[in-house]
Amino acid sequence: MDVHALYSTLAATVQPDAAVRSQGEATLKQIESHAGLLPALLQIVAVPESDAAVKQAAAIYFKNRVGRLWDPSREQSLNQDDRLFVKTHIIEAISKADSRIRSQMLASLTTIITFEFRHGATWPELVPTVKTMLASDQRHIVFSGLLVFLELVKNYQWAAVSERTALHPVLEEILPITLSIANNLKAHAATSLEATEMLKCIIKTYNCSIRLEIAQHQQDLASLVPWGTLFVEVAEMQIAPSALNMPEDAEDREKHMWWKLKKWSYQCLNTLFGRYACTKPEKRYKNFSKMFVATFAPKILESFLKQISLAVQGVWMSARVKQHLATFLEHCVKRKTTWAMLKEHLSPVISDFIFPLMCFSQEDDELWHENPVDYIHKKIDPPMDDFKSPVVAVAALLQSICKDRFEQAFMPTVGIINAILGRYNEAPADKKDPRHKYGVLNMMTVLVEQALDERSPIRNDMETSTYPFLRARACDTLLKFASEMDFQVMNAVKDPELPVRVEAALALSPFLRYPKIHDAMKPHAAPVMQELMNLTNEIDMDTLTHVMEQLVFEYSEELTPFAVQLATQLRDTFMRIMSDANYTADDFDSMAAMGVLKTISSLVLSVEGSVAIVHEVEAVIVPAIVFVLENGVLDLYEEVFEIIETSTFSSKAVSPLMWSVLPYIYRTFKADAFDYFEEMTPSLHNYIMHGKDVLAASAEHQEMIFDMATTVLTAEDARQSDRAYAHLVLKPAKSVALRVHAIEIVVNALFYNPALALGVLEQAQYTTAFFETWFKQLDDFERVHDKRLSILTLAALLELPTEALPPALQSNWTYLFGGILRLFNNYSEVLEERLKEQRIANGEEEDDDEEVEDDDFYSSMRRDDDVSDDEEEPFGEKLEALAGAAAAETTHTFDDEDEDDDNYSVEGMMIEDIYFTTYLDEVDVHVQFESLMESLAVSGRSAVLESTLSPEQTAFVGKLLKTAAENRAKAATAAASASASAATAAQ
């Protein structure tokens, strides 16, 4: 490929002129699959004279193409010549690149390592190249080698233990080299930013190497001592406040390379202690754990206590360092050796380290006033990365001290806290610092489990403070102490400060558990709900919607008059959330919107008793439903289908408005909701059950439901559970006779040729779904023939060797035996009834029953709310067609003549047809059952079976075997009599 032409094309893509830029992008699109593209891009990146913007564009495009083309299993993959060129030159390009270009190239390198080294083992030159770079006398080459080694190790950091085996010799070979480099860099770290960054890279690489396991050579003292010493020395290193261009702003200082270096040193020590030397380590690390706790942990703790002392004296430390210090101390609490040391320093650790961090800080105060919403998300509704917070870490440390060492530490800790509170109370009014009281409340919130003990002298009433952050903290404390304290939370819900209102709202939930408070809240339910609605318009918090949902559930009667108004506000809140959010983005936070939809669902269910109100609420919320379905907001499908289900269930009818939603459901299913069929099923079921009149008259609606169900039934990639749900959707529209008939088509096939039929079911991935469906319908097999056919089929399956059964049945074969017992349950009575009907028909016996006219009989059996056969016919024809198609696939059936005419049902009752006969009528199922039991005994499975039977079932089996013996005796007597008669006749 012409490198100069490619350079010109890339230059066009970064031009401000839109027309030139579009032309350049179009040209790139045309040549993206050409051979030689990646080598040409790499050459542009590596040339120092290239324009910075063009190099940046080339690096990004290179990274994207590597990500798409390097996987050899993809249909469109990179040719071998290009692969070889890139592997040969990419590391050199990294060593020449500046930081912006280097980050793109390292990302590309990670992809290449994944396929060429970790999975492919086709890059043997990689490790020798890294060693050569690390031995260079040029610092930038060494630094590049460290970065490449870091990417190599990172590639394995979350890999399974079996995959990491190939990394062990690499670590054993290169880690000593990087340790030597690190020791040389220590002396320069306080004065050279490059040395600091290189040292950080080395220590970060070590941490990546021990994320999931620590190799045996790393556990040896020869390795652990020098590495551990390095980490402690780095943790203890101090620099002048103005060194390394350290910024004055605390937020910028947190991001400085010096504090990143310190963070990784602490992280390594915490990983070694917390993962591999914990109280219950994996068996392979037990020896390491004992050695680390006895030899290393005390020395590290001594060093860390000195660091805490420096922090108390005012030496600035980053938040992550404080977090790691607290985390290490938490590990120390759990081990006897280190606890003995820590216990001696308990008072200063709590009062001088934990307490200041749990107080309301100056940063908190600024955030409260400048951006209360951000304050709430940081302090009340913390994000997922709050484990990095030193406040969270010291809270965990405090709880561990009082929980894990309760007898020794709880009361002394309470004494320390009381002393702090005492100093606050004794101070003159103008000297009282309310932030200290906040810290006390914060600490007691952490100790709620221990503080509620009868021995705890902390049950003090709490007053309404003039300081808003104290009011907020008091509400949070009430959340934990709700059963013990009294506080005007109702007033706090209307507080002018947003964080106070949020904490008050969250504190409401536990109060509702107490009958007196619950009853007292009834008159206030509507205004409180209004305040919560106002809150959700100010801030998006899923925890707030949980409180709203609870209020709707607890006070449904009180809120019913306001249901439509609440539904309107909830809908508007939902639409506002969606308008403010980028719901098409991968990082869309759906929790708040999800919570509002769940509250809507609870609201609909709460007004179940009034169909009119349900329909009014439907009119309000349908736009929200349509919005989600029209815009394909996958994260909210489950909640929307739940609302549809709740609405149609609560009204026991499908309103015209909800019928208008069905086409949206159908289009959504066809577009991107195939995987959500399970969530759709209850809604579709309600459409069929509660909207049968409209469904029977609307071919369009029938076609939608039928198409969705059959699409799932016939899709190759459908899960068995989805196929079962598709069956459930179609099931309400089918008559009992049709269901039994459809099932018996497969049952006939299983009886005629079990192995072949099971093979077909397995190939269709329908074995489990079919047997679940069959056994769910087993009670509908009411006629003699139905029972006889099913008993003989199940017996035939059980007589097969266990290994001949599909996996799903091998572990559940006793379940099949249970089905036989269910079918035998009233078999004798049904058989006797059939024989009686035959005798009556033959004139051998008179019918004692009162005659009933056919019309009256049918009308007495039909419920008023059933649709007629004529109304069901259009939908039924489709299902009969399915059954017919299935029948065409079977090899042979024994009872398929005139079944459509003779085997009918009346509202769920299968009618016995005495004129319907098959050769199976001559088979004695009791004798066949006896034969089955003998077969199970011979195969050694009878003992397993007996262990699963209840005493009642065991007795029933004995009764069946007794009947079999009696029937054999009768048959033998009849045969002897017949033989004697024949002999007499012959004479």
Whether the pLDDT of residue 687 is over 50: the answer is yes
pLDDT tier at 470 (50, 70, 90 boundaries)?
low
Which of 36-50, 194-208, 370-384, 469-483 shows the lowest mean pLDDT across its residues?
469-483
pLDDT tier at 473 (50, 70, 90 boundaries)?
low
Strand partners, 909: 906
What percent of the chain clears pLDDT 90, i.e. is strictly above it? 42
Which of 148-152, 304-308, 871-875 shows the lowest mean pLDDT across its residues?
871-875
Question: What backbone phi and psi angles, to 5 degrees, belong to 613?
Answer: -70, -40
Residue 5: per-residue pLDDT: 93
| Separation between Cα atoms, residue 11 and residue 19, nearest integer Å | 13
Mean pLDDT taken over the chain: 83
pTM (2 d.p.): 0.62
Residues comprising the chain, all counted: 987
Residue 887: per-residue pLDDT: 37
Which of 37-41, 163-167, 528-532, 927-931 shows the lowest mean pLDDT across its residues?
528-532
Angle at 331 between CA 326 and CA 337, to 5 degrees: 120
Written as six digits, the tokens of 398 are: 């405090």
- Nearest Cα residue to 395 out of 437, 439, 361, 434: 439
| Separation between Cα atoms, residue 44 and residue 54, nearest integer Å | 8
Strand partners, 905: 910
Whether the pLDDT of residue 515 is over 90: the answer is no
Q: How far is CA 448 from the centre of its chain?
A: 30
How far lies 92's CA from each of 67, 105, 142, 846, 967, in Å?
20, 11, 12, 104, 91
Q: What is the DSSP secondary structure assignment for residue 891, as one 8-state letter?
A: S
pLDDT tier at 916 (50, 70, 90 boundaries)?
low
Pair 727, 769: CB distance under 8 Å: yes
Please report where in the chains the tokens 């106070």 appear, as a residue: 500
Q: Which long-range contacts (CB under 8 A, 24 or more apart) does 100-106 make?
A: 100/56, 100/59, 101/45, 101/55, 101/56, 101/59, 102/147, 104/56, 104/59, 104/60, 104/62, 104/63, 105/45, 105/59, 105/62, 105/63, 106/147, 106/148, 106/151
Q: Tell me the mean pLDDT in the region 150-156.
A: 95
Whether the pLDDT of residue 225 is over 90: the answer is yes
pLDDT tier at 402 (50, 70, 90 boundaries)?
very high
Which residue did the predictor score with more confidence, 112 or 32? Answer: 112
Written as six digits, the tokens of 491 are: 């007033």
For the chain, the C-alpha Rg in angstroms (whole number) is 38
Whether the pLDDT of residue 353 is over 60: the answer is yes
pLDDT tier at 382 (50, 70, 90 boundaries)?
low
Pair 822, 791: CB distance under 8 Å: no
Whether the pLDDT of residue 451 is over 70: the answer is no
566's CB contacts (< 8 A; 6+ apart) are: 529, 533, 552, 559, 603
Written as six digits, the tokens of 153 are: 């190790």
| Separation between Cα atoms, residue 474 and residue 463, nearest integer Å | 9
User: Residue 232: what residue type?
Assistant: V
Written as six digits, the tokens of 982 are: 């024949």
Q: Tell me the mean pLDDT in the region 191-213.
A: 96
Whether the pLDDT of residue 518 is over 90: the answer is no
Residue 543: per-residue pLDDT: 76
Which residue did the predictor score with more confidence, 147 or 969? Answer: 147
Residue 178: per-residue pLDDT: 98
Task: Name the CA dihedral angle for 677, 678, 683, 688, rounded to a multiple of 10 degrees.
Answer: 80
For the stretch 623-675, pLDDT in tens is 999 999 999 999 899 999 999 999 998 888 899 999 999 999 999 999 988 89
Which residue did the predictor score with more confidence, 39 or 833? Answer: 39
Written as six digits, the tokens of 560 are: 């019913």
Which residue did the predictor score with more confidence, 715 or 386? Answer: 715
What percent of the chain clears pLDDT 70, i.e. is strictly above it? 86
SS (H, E, C) 687-734: HHHHCHHHHHHCHHHHHHHHHHHHHHHHCCCCCHHHHHHHHHHHHHHC
Which residue did the predictor score with more confidence, 589 or 321? Answer: 321
Three-class secondary structure of residue 323 per DSSP: helix
Residue 897: per-residue pLDDT: 34
User: Residue 200: what residue type?
Assistant: K
Q: Tell me the mean pLDDT in the region 28-40.
A: 91
Q: How far is CA 927 from the centre of its chain?
A: 51
Which residue did the predictor score with more confidence, 525 or 260? Answer: 260
Pair 203, 231: CB distance under 8 Å: yes
Which of 142-151, 404-413, 533-542, 724-733 shows the lowest mean pLDDT across its residues?
724-733
Written as six digits, the tokens of 306 are: 């000195």
Q: H or E segment at 910?
A: strand 909-910
| Separation between Cα atoms, residue 515 and residue 823, nearest integer Å | 50
pLDDT tier at 722 (50, 70, 90 boundaries)?
confident
Which of 116-130, 213-227, 374-388, 792-806 shows the lowest mean pLDDT across its residues?
374-388
**Half-sphere exposure at residue 386, Cβ-oriented, CA atoms within 13 angstroms:** 14
- Classify burial at 130, counting beta carbons within 10 Å of its beta carbon; exposed 0-12, middle 13-18, buried 19 or more: buried
pLDDT tier at 454 (50, 70, 90 boundaries)?
low
Whether the pLDDT of residue 236 is over 50: the answer is yes
- Nearest Cα residue to 147 out of 106, 114, 112: 106
| Separation between Cα atoms, residue 31 and residue 9, nearest integer Å | 10
Show the DSSP H helices in 607-661 as ranges: 611-631, 637-651, 656-659
Residue 87: per-residue pLDDT: 94
Residue 206: per-residue pLDDT: 98
Residue 862: per-residue pLDDT: 31
Whether the pLDDT of residue 850 is over 70: the answer is no
Whether the pLDDT of residue 384 is over 60: the answer is no
Pair 784, 834: CB distance under 8 Å: yes
Angle at 283 between CA 279 and CA 288, to 5 degrees: 65
Which of 190-204, 469-483, 695-709, 933-947 shows the lowest mean pLDDT across its residues?
469-483
| Separation between Cα atoms, residue 500 and residue 494, nearest integer Å | 9
- Nearest Cα residue to 894 out of 877, 925, 928, 918: 918
Residue 910: per-residue pLDDT: 53
Residue 893: per-residue pLDDT: 32
Whether the pLDDT of residue 137 is over 90: the answer is yes
Which residue did the predictor score with more confidence, 680 or 870? Answer: 680
Residue 233: per-residue pLDDT: 97
Angle at 925 between CA 848 and CA 903, to 5 degrees: 55
Residue 971: per-residue pLDDT: 85
Which residue did the predictor score with more confidence, 114 or 983? Answer: 114
- Nearest Cα residue to 265 out of 201, 311, 308, 329: 201
Pair 636, 673: CB distance under 8 Å: no
Which of 455-459, 512-516, 546-550 shows the lowest mean pLDDT across its residues?
455-459
For the stretch 740-761, pLDDT in tens is 777 888 898 899 899 898 988 8
Which of 147-156, 263-272, 805-814, 833-842 shows the lowest mean pLDDT across its residues?
833-842
- As a whole number of Å, the end-to-end CA separation of the chain is 108
Residue 589: per-residue pLDDT: 64
Q: H or E segment at 905?
A: strand 905-906
Strand partners, 906: 909
Written as six digits, the tokens of 903 are: 């085997």
Q: Tell me the mean pLDDT in the region 321-349.
A: 96
pLDDT tier at 342 (50, 70, 90 boundaries)?
very high
Residue 642: per-residue pLDDT: 94
Task: Name the CA dihedral angle for 268, 274, 276, 277, rounded to a multiple of 10 degrees.
Answer: 120
pLDDT tier at 147 (50, 70, 90 boundaries)?
very high
Whether the pLDDT of residue 169 is over 90: the answer is yes
Pair 663, 705: CB distance under 8 Å: no
Q: What is the DSSP secondary structure assignment for residue 214, as one 8-state letter?
A: -
Q: Tell me the mean pLDDT in the region 2-27.
A: 92
| Separation between Cα atoms, residue 209 and residue 169, nearest integer Å | 12
Three-class secondary structure of residue 906 per DSSP: strand
